[in-house]
Amino acid sequence: MLARGVRLAERRVLRVAGEDALKLLQGLVTNDVRGLAAPGAPPVYAAVLAANGRVAHDAFFHREMGEGPSGGALLVDLPAATFEDAVKLLTKMRLRARVTLDDAGEDLAVVAVGGEEPGVRSKSDEASSRRDATSTSAPASSLLAFLPPDPRLASLGLRGVLPRAVAEALIEGGVEMARTHGRSGGSDADFRRGSAHVSEAAAHRRLRYALGVAEGAELVGLLPLECNLAGLNAVSFEKGCYVGQELTARTHHRGVVRKRIVPASFHHHIIRNDSDDAFETERANERSASPLFVAPGSRLFPMEEEETEPATSARAKPAGSVVASSGDVGLAMVRLSHLKHTTHETGTTGGDADALAHSTTLTARFIARDESQSRASAIATRVWTPPWWDARWTSRSDDAEA
């Protein structure tokens, strides 16, 4: 749990105002944003799709306090890496609409606090709070406890937009509060196993990965249902048309998505050789002690429980690929047909990524291999389905290929 809060520097804020703001956005994003016209409306999460139906940007929409024809301006939390492209798209789409677009990145900051790693709650607790939007995973003592819940999952804690100076003061105040109460370590270090010390932003990213939630550049170019955006409250299937809607709606109504993003844990994998070469053994031991780095795009090859190596045949087909990684945790896009039911139960409440994999319904083991590297750099990989998934996603995974 990130009790002290973190400013997410990889996000940037755009202020969208004007009486036609909601109308413009309603025809552009995957979710229904009309509810943001009401005072005190909760944030809305959505994606902006390209014409081919693939994700171009993800966005959090917050209603700014104030009066106006549209009920106050909207603060849009966007990925910093694609911020300029998003502004260009909105500028192109607004035509004669009465909408103003202002870069508020220098004045406002995106802040997150709290969050709960999977594996600390019982299955009954997970079921009862899976969609509890009023649940806050931040402690009541946090200076940022007034922020709204993350609209994707309660387990991600709280997330909002604040004036930059206010955000920095409250985060620094949380650090001082932690020092006062002797909590310089504690639960904030739960997801820092990939290195001796990582930043608060990295700890928040590792929390996302353990929950199986992709964000920002990790989503770009992928189909929204493969990214599980429907399960993260980012897609409305009742609203009217929007850019890229046709493919999303058709895939949803067919009811079959054969590959999805899942959480992954990574471990050094020692390739066994027939020779007893001492030098090779020494190099293998060095790899085991070195920090893990799994390159995004590395392909995943199935590995059976009794095997020590993946299939090496030229006909062997990859089962997926790595989407993102941070030390020993990450995200992978895999074919659901490779996942198998398991009866393993976890006995830990800590942040051990491999232990978390044992507490879920479906798991699979792979070898991640970066094609630009040697075979000896292969990384053992375990993936699993997170507890917030819709059970129908996996029950349909073995349907015949279209």
Which of left, alpha, beta for 186 (phi over 0: left; psi -120 to 50: alpha)? Answer: left
pLDDT higher than 80, residue 156: yes
pLDDT of residue 172: 84
Q: Which of 36-40, 107-111, 207-211 shows the lowest mean pLDDT across its residues?
A: 36-40
Lowest mean pLDDT among 37-51, 123-137, 156-170: 123-137
Mean residue pLDDT across the chain: 78
For 259-284, the pLDDT digits (tens) are 999 999 998 865 544 444 444 444 44
* Angle, CA 368 vertex, CA 192 and CA 280 arms, to 5°: 90
DSSP letter string, 294-322: --TT-EEEE--TT-SS----TT----EEE
pLDDT confidence tier of residue 143, bands split at 50, 70 and 90? confident
CA terminus-to-terminus distance, the chain: 43
- Confidence class for position 134, pLDDT limits 50, 70, 90: very low
pLDDT at 252: 87
Torsions phi, psi for 226 (to 5 deg): -70, -25
3-state secondary structure of 326: strand
In 10 A of CB 345, how many CB atoms? 7
Reduce the DSSP state of residue 111 to 3 states and report it: strand
Question: Boundaries of CATH 3.30.1360.120 in the chain?
Answer: 1-254
Residue 179's pLDDT band (cuts 50, 70, 90): low
Task: Report how far residue 173's alpha carbon sits from residue 142's, in angstroms, rounded to the nearest whole number.
Answer: 9
Which of 262, 209, 230, 1 lies closest to 113 in space, CA to CA? Answer: 1
Cβ–Cβ under 8 Å, residues 102 and 126: no
Q: What is the pLDDT of residue 391?
A: 87
- β strands within 19-167, DSSP E: 44-49, 55-63, 74-79, 100-103, 108-114, 158-163
11/77 Cα distance (integer angstroms): 6
- pLDDT of amino acid 306: 40
Domain 1-254 - what CATH class?
A: alpha beta
SS3 89: helix
Mean pLDDT, residues 279-294 taken together:
56
**Could you report the per-residue pLDDT of 25-71, keeping only the tens digit for each?**
999 999 999 999 988 899 999 999 999 999 999 999 999 876 554 44
Instruction: Kindly state the percentage of the chain with pLDDT values over 70.
Output: 69
Distance CA 34, CA 44 (A): 10
> What's the pLDDT at 115?
85
Reported as a single tens digit per residue, the pLDDT across 189-204 is: 444 443 334 578 888 9
Spatial separation of the C-alpha atoms in residues 198 and 388, rounded to whole Å: 27
pTM for the whole thing?
0.81
Poorest-confidence range of 65-69, 89-93, 114-118? 65-69
User: Torsion angle of alpha carbons 322, 325, 330, 336, nearest 10°?
Assistant: 0
Q: What's residue 340's pLDDT?
A: 86
Is residue 285 pLDDT above 50, yes or no?
A: no
